[in-house]
Amino acid sequence: MSSSTRVSDELTLTIGALARELGVTTRTIRFYEERGLLRPTRSRGRQRLYTRRDRGHLKLILQHRDAGFTLEEMKELLDLYDDAPGPEGTRRQLERFRDIALARLSGVEARLATLQTLRRRLKARITYAEGALRKPSRVNGGG
Q: What pTM does this model have?
A: 0.72
pLDDT 10s digits, 54-111: 999 999 999 999 999 999 999 999 998 888 888 988 899 999 999 999 999 999 999 9
Phi, psi for 6 (deg, rounded to 5): -115, 130
CA distance 61 to 52: 14
CA distance 53 to 10: 10
CA distance 114 to 122: 12
pLDDT 10s digits, 16-70: 999 999 999 999 999 999 999 999 998 888 889 999 999 999 999 999 999 999 9
CB atoms closer than 10 angstroms to residue 31? 15
Contact predicate 49/41, CB 8 Å? yes
pLDDT above 60 for 120? yes
**Residue 2's pLDDT band (boundaries 50, 70, 90)?**
low
- Residue 133 half-sphere exposure, CB side, CA atoms within 13 Å? 6
Contact predicate 50/14, CB 8 Å? yes
